[in-house]
Chains A and B, each alone.
Chain A
Amino acid sequence: DAGVIQSPRHEVTEMGQEVTLRCKPISGHDYLFWYRQTMMRGLELLIYFNNNVPIDDSGMPEDRFSAKMPNASFSTLKIQPSEPRDSAVYFCASSLVGNSYNEQFFGPGTRLTVL
């Protein structure tokens, strides 16, 4: 299996621009999670989906952030408009609830820099 795939790996944009991050979870997994990692705040959960339905978006910092999962093999996280404080590494993870270890599998991340 290819694991969780994220694109792009690096994104540099200017303040005010729209940014779209993409994620392909592991086939067959029923949960998908979006995280943000910074030095100051560590790894924070933004939103997660179960069977393509958003379950908990309480971690989404503000209305500028939105996430969708149109099908089981694709999800997007959009920031519009972007601000310098959005600079971070964004991770997508997927899991199959009920497997032995209940672990989440993380993608390689997207490093976002907003100038």
Chain B
Amino acid sequence: EDQVTQSPEALRLQEGESSSLNCSYTVSGLRGLFWYRQDPGKGPEFLFTLYSAGEEKEKERLKATLTKKESFLHITAPKPEDSATYLCAVQWLRGTYKYIFGTGTRLKVLA
């Protein structure tokens, strides 16, 4: 069964304390892996798309990487404004364009 698992469920960091979020998947035939950020009371906001193992994408303090079975979202020297829920989603090759979402990691960065 296709599954997407994110860990940890919740993470508290001090400002400046770097860490990584994990997204592992068992989808056979990956079309793409997506990272989104969701703030309370808002819809998910797109961050990155990764298509193949070894690919990396960066945006400000965030860097996403992809292997054949998992993706990491690295947060370098986070700030309080990085506090949000980070969601990953996978899209697979079986002729559809729908996502399977993970349950997310709730990140809190303390000043």
Contacts and interface: CB of A to CB of B under 8 A. Distances in A.
Interface residues of B, number: 23
B43 A91 contact: yes
Query: Quick one: which of B41, B42, B45, B98 has the most chain A CB within 10 A?
Result: B98
Given A43-B87, A55-B96, A56-B96, A103 B101 contact: no
B49 A102 contact: yes
A42 B49 CA distance: 20
Nearest to B35: A103
Given A91-B43, A101-B49, A104-B99, 8 more contacts: A33-B98, A42-B103, A48-B98, A91-B44, A101-B48, A102-B49, A106-B36, A107-B43
| The 5 A-B residue pairs with the shortest CB-CB distance in the complex, in nearest-first order | A106-B43, A42-B103, A103-B46, A43-B101, A101-B49
Interface of A: 4, 31, 33, 42-45, 48, 50, 55-56, 91, 93, 95, 97, 101-109
